[in-house]
């Protein structure tokens, strides 16, 4: 099925947050700090305030004081980032919001923002991970799955002593910044003194509502959040950041609706990013290649005023069978904005360094990388000692190797060449956990025989409109053309954040539950014994061996204008009995210039096992998108922090490199049919994030196979090969 929202997007009628217009709308532009740490001594707004069209300039000197302590329920949410709302003169990181200009037009606001003059008292800042390792601390345990910060099983030291082969190295991933096509934007409208409407680019309308309400001292039902379309998010639009609340404050101050858009350079700092990580990975194996010990000690950066842990050691706990295992997480507080969720948080950096180490150990054992992985395949979850709900990883290895042509790959590095070009082939394992949260949905039968299905979820561009329409139509027994699905509004039934690849596993199952409930109501209204006896064809309703009438007649006969059902779905006891993951295998061929070290990815093959695939088009799109990001992580992305200035210096699309069409080769994304009776009623698993896991490692391992040089620090640039 093609995307139901596809035409709206390509014709420009799909409305994104910044495209909502309301009467008397004015514009806000943030002024952000040019220093990494210190205090504002003075703000000269005279020239800016007299610029044509300027309505008001908010600074810490005139912004209304907000409640100091948000509600406890808000503070306990993992996405409740601490924000900077012009409440004091303290500067905590570079690019922190320090003033907000409100003007009649966007142009006036931008020009006036450049006229604001700020003087600072500088304090000594620190943003470097390596130089602060001695100050690393153990973070508080938590996260969406309440995972343990550190976990030990067996005796890793003994496992290393008894081993025949060992690897022990430092691996790193750089800062990476979410750069979706749509930047963050908010339109704030006060409909009454205590009634706020937000059109916001958010991955979680309900979390957004609660966070804004708590920060402004309102009741959650006083805030409505609308977000029908997102131009990507990748995790950055999960938390509620400073600009959302500042837009609401500004609108209240000028008594007019305010639109506030974050600029591309302002995406680097105040709205999250993936932390720079450093992992010491040690792995050991016996003479026959059996893992005897595996250890992953990961350290990442967080901000000085908040905590976000990148759980990158998690894959080392469960991906391979080993009796002796140790994984730890440590954080270093530095003067940066708070890191946050970024596509496959923890699992993207974690798998893509672990899988290099596993490749190294396979070579140390003189074993083919696939053979080594099969030797140490975990037949049950070694972390939790539970069976998998389903696991088709071996089939992913087999099918991927067959489609990629792995059997033609010689073992020795630098053994394939085309003139001055070195050719390498590499592979790696992908994995990502299945998340699921409580969700609700509503289904309505209209007199004309059409159906309206509603849930307050979000569509990041992944195809939520399409998939929910399919699920509802399938459950109702009608063509998808008879179903309209509506989302992105806190006035609709509550659903979780669109993150952690849980939108369909959560909201999809609630849509099915609501459609099933409506089908049951319809069965009763039609006087049938079972739902199978009821047939809906257009506007007519037929009962097997009985009556046939229009739906309008049926509703009138029962004194109804429409038929409606609301239902919810939530995780069951199966989540405590089984470990639930998507798995996959990725293969890459690279071509490296022998003289210059220039790397090109020639082709990639990915095979995934993600439960029931509802829509091949949208599934392939998501798998391929993740694989493209694997290329980006391996070769391109690096938000470069200037230690002297404490700020990202390549804060634009000209210098923050991401793949373009010329960088993306032939990509083949496949999957194996997988039946999982335990994971959820629909039998579906996570798709959106698994594609990035392991993809970069497959490329890194291919670079080693081509050149004989092992690069352990992403991105792999030509200077590291020369």
State the catalytic residues.
Answer: 689
44-51 long-range Cβ contacts below 8 angstroms, 24+ apart:
44/116, 44/117, 44/118, 45/99, 45/116, 47/115, 47/117, 48/101, 48/112, 48/113, 48/115, 48/116, 49/112, 51/103, 51/108, 51/111, 51/112, 51/115
Strand 38-44: give its sheet, edge to edge: 90-91, 38-44, 117-122
Nearest residue to 383 via CA among 341, 429, 323: 323
Measured CA to CA, the distance from residue 222 to residue 226 in angstroms comes to 13
Distance, C-alpha 354 to centroid of its chain:
20
DSSP string covering 263-322, please? -TGGGSSTT--BPPEEEEEEEEE-TTS-EEEEEEEEEEEEESS------TTHHHHHSB--
**Are the CB atoms for 116 and 307 separated by under 8 Å?**
no
- Count of beta carbons in the 10 Å neighbourhood of residue 671: 23
Measured CA to CA, the distance from residue 116 to residue 575 in angstroms comes to 54
| Assigned token pair, 660 | 């373009």
| Assigned token pair, 626 | 């993740």
| Assigned token pair, 454 | 């509603």
Phi, then psi, of 235 in degrees rounded to 5: 110, -25
CA-CA distances (angstroms) from residue 274 to 175, 402, 452, 594, 711?
6, 35, 39, 32, 21
H-type alpha helices, 365-499: 369-375, 393-404, 464-476
Residue 346, SS3 per DSSP: coil
Longest alpha-carbon distance in the chain: 85
| Assigned token pair, 6 | 């596809």
- Count of beta carbons in the 10 Å neighbourhood of residue 532: 11
DSSP structure class, residue 386: B
Measured CA to CA, the distance from residue 595 to residue 721 in angstroms comes to 10
Sign of the C-alpha dihedral, residues 706, 707, 709, 715?
negative
| Assigned token pair, 44 | 């000269």
């Amino acid at each position: 099925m093609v995307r139901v929202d596809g035409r709206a997007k390509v014709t420009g009628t799909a409305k994104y947050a910044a495209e909502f217009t309301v009467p008397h709308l004015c514009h806000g532009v943030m002024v952000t700090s040019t220093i990494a740490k210190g205090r504002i001594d003075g703000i000269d707004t005279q020239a800016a305030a007299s610029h044509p069209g300027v309505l008001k300039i908010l600074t810490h000197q005139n912004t209304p004081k907000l409640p100091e302590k948000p509600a406890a329920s808000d503070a306990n949410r993992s996405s409740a980032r601490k924000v900077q709302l012009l409440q004091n003169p303290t500067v905590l990181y570079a690019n922190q919001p320090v003033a907000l200009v409100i003007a009649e037009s966007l142009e006036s606001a931008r020009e006036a923002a450049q006229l604001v003059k700020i003087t600072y008292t500088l304090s000594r800042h620190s943003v470097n991970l390596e130089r602060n390792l001695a100050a690393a601390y153990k973070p508080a345990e938590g996260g969406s799955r309440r995972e343990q910060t550190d976990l030990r099983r067996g005796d890793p030291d003994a496992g290393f002593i008894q081993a025949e082969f060992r690897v022990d190295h430092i691996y790193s991933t750089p800062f990476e910044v979410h750069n979706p096509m749509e930047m963050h934007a908010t339109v704030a409208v006060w409909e009454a003194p205590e009634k706020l409407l937000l059109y916001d680019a958010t991955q979680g309308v309900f979390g957004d509502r609660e966070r804004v309400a708590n920060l402004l001292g309102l009741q959650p039902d006083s805030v409505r959040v609308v977000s029908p379309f997102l131009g990507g998010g990748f995790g950055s639009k999960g938390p509620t950041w400073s600009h959302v609340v500042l837009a609401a404050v500004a609108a209240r101050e000028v008594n007019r609706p305010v639109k506030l858009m974050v600029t591309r350079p302002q995406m680097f700092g105040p709205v999250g990013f993936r932390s720079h990580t450093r992992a010491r990975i040690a792995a050991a194996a016996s003479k026959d290649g059996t893992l005897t010990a595996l250890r992953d000690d990961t350290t990442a950066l967080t901000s000085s005023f908040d905590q976000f842990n990148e759980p990158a050691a998690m894959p080392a706990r469960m991906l391979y069978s080993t009796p002796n295992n140790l994984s730890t997480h440590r954080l270093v507080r530095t003067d940066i904005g708070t890191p946050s969720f970024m596509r496959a948080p923890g699992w993207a950096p974690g798998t893509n360094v672990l899988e290099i180490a596993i490749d190294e150990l396979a070579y140390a054992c003189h074993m083919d990388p696939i053979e080594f992985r099969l030797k140490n395949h975990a037949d049950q979850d070694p972390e939790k000692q539970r069976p998998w709900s389903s696991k088709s990883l071996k089939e992913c290895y087999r099918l991927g190797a067959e489609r990629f042509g792995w059997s033609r790959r010689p073992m020795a590095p630098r053994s394939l060449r085309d003139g001055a070009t070195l050719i390498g082939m590499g592979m790696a394992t992908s994995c990502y956990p299945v998340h699921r949260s409580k969700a609700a949905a509503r289904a309505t039968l209209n007199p004309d025989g059409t159906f309206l299905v509603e849930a307050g979820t979000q569509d990041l561009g992944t195809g939520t409109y399409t998939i929910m329409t399919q699920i509802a139509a399938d459950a109702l027994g009608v063509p998808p053309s008879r179903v309209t699905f509506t989302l992105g509004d806190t006035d609709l039934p509550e659903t979780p954040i669109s993150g952690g690849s849980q939108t369909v596993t959560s909201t999809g199952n609630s849509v099915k539950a609501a459609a099933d409930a409506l089908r049951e109501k319809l069965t009763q209204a039609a006087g049938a014994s079972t739902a199978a006896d009821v047939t809906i064809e257009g506007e007519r309703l037929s009962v097997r061996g009985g009556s046939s009438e229009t739906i309008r007649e049926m509703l009138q006969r029962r004194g109804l204008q429409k038929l409606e059902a609301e239902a919810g779905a939530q995780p069951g006891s199966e989540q405590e009995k089984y470990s639930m993951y998507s798995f996959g295998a990725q293969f890459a061929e690279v071509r490296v210039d022998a003289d210059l070290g220039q790397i090109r990815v020639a082709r990639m093959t990915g095979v995934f096992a993600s439960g029931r695939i509802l829509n091949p088009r949208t599934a392939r799109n998501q798998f391929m998108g993740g694989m493209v990001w694997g290329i980006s992580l391996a070769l391109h992305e690096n938000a470069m922090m200037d230690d002297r200035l404490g700020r990202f210096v390549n804060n634009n699309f000209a210098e923050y490199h991401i793949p373009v069409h010329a960088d993306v080769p032939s990509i083949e994304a496949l999957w194996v049919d997988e039946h999982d009776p335990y994971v959820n009623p629909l039998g579906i698993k996570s798709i959106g994030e698994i594609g990035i896991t392991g993809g970069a490692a497959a490329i890194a391992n291919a670079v080693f196979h081509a050149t004989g040089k092992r690069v352990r620090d992403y991105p792999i640039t030509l200077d590291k090969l020369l």
